[in-house]
Structure 1
Amino acid sequence: MLTIGEAYHQRLLEETQQHTLTQAINQARLEEKAHAATLFSSRLDRLAAHAQKEHLSSVEIIELLRQEAERIQNQAGEQIDG
């Protein structure tokens, strides 16, 4: 059986570990969001360069963006489905 002081100390250690774990999870989430934003930005840059190089019309650019949106949705669905 633990003394009151030992129980208090153990509780503080558990809370500290939980806080550290929460911080690590939050940091990982922030890093993943930053990575996703970088990938998305790079993809948009490549699409813009392609549209410019190929002298795409506004209708073609809209279709290109719709295709990209569909690709992203499909990719997200595959990740969720496992």
Structure 2
Amino acid sequence: MLTIGDAYHQRLLEESRQHTLTQAINQARLEEKAHAATLFSSRLDRLAAHAQKENMSSAEIIELLRQEADRFQNQVGEQIDG
């Protein structure tokens, strides 16, 4: 039979596990956001270098950005659809 102290101790342990799990999930989310931002930034740098190398006009750069936006949207759709 559990005493009040035992029950309280078990509750504290469970709360601690929950807190630790929440912290781990939040940390994983932050790391994933940082990784996504790095990938996005790198991709924009490559697009800028390409536009500069090819001496693209503003209209061509706009089209390039629209194509890239479509590519991102398609990737998201594929990830959601599995």
The two structures have a TM-score, normalised by structure 2, of: 0.98
Q: Compute the displacement of 1:81 (Å).
A: 1.0
Percent identity, please. Answer: 89
Task: Measure, in 2, the Cα distance between the counterparts of 1:31 and 1:7.
Answer: 36
Q: How does 1:1-82 map to 2 (within 5 A)?
A: 1-82=1-82
Q: CA RMSD in A?
A: 0.4
Q: Distance in 1 between matches of 2:30 and 2:37?
A: 11
Unaligned runs of 5+ in 1: none
TM-score (norm 1): 0.98
Q: Deviations over 1:17-62 (max 9, x none)?
A: 0000000000000000000000000000000000000000000000
For residues 35 and 80 of structure 1, what CA distance do their matches in structure 2 show? 19
User: After TM superposition, where is structure 1 displaced by more than 4 Å over at least 4 residues in a row?
Assistant: none
Provide the aligned length of Structure 1 versus Structure 2: 82
